[in-house]
Amino acid sequence: MQIRKLNSNEEPPIDLLLMADPSLTLIEEYLNTGECYVAENNKEIIGVYVLLPKSTETIELVNIAVSDNEQGKGIGKQLILDAIQKSKVKGYQTIEVGTGNSSIGQLALYQKCGFRITGVDRDFFTRHYKEDIFENGIWCRDMIRLSQQLN
């Protein structure tokens, strides 16, 4: 598997990005200002993440997804670790990520990769998404914010 920056002449893997964020409008917004990276296996895109600069010191991992048939193989962890490494190389001090209160697996994975919970954006998903989101039998309402120091 190879992880690389998406070339400017390539179409982003919208189907994968929609797995992690059901809002095409939000995806298009952060693709315009962020950097999209893809994981490939035999020229097939199997994973994606987007890094979005927030300030000169802070960058945010705003979308990370792995295709259904490739999940459970550690690819998500490799993508997160790659995002952390690229953020360090770019000179950022902090990397942030946000996930839904119902995203139990993602919350565990981020913490395994060194992120710590820093806050809760209450009702984020009810404010930003028209449709209710349910995951793991839990109503996804709040954004759990996590971050990691990179120095």
Please write the tens of the pLDDT for every residue from 20-52.
Answer: 888 899 899 999 999 999 999 998 999 999 999
Cα-Cα-Cα-Cα dihedral sign, residues 38, 17, 120, 113: negative
pLDDT at 89: 96
Say what percent of the chain tops pLDDT 70. Answer: 100
pTM, full prediction: 0.89
Taking a C-beta distance cutoff of 8 angstroms, is the pair 121, 140 a contact?
no
Taking a C-beta distance cutoff of 8 angstroms, is the pair 46, 70 a contact?
yes
User: Tens of pLDDT along 55-85?
Assistant: 999 999 999 999 999 999 999 999 999 999 9
Residues 134 and 72: their CA atoms lie apart, in Å, by 21
Residue type, position 6, single letter: L
Q: In Å, what is the CA distance from 105 to each residue of 57, 63, 83, 94, 135? A: 28, 15, 18, 22, 11
Token pair of 6 as six digits? 């998406």
Superfamily (CATH) of domain 2-149: Gcn5-related N-acetyltransferase (GNAT) (3.40.630.30)
Task: Give the DSSP letter of residue 126.
Answer: H
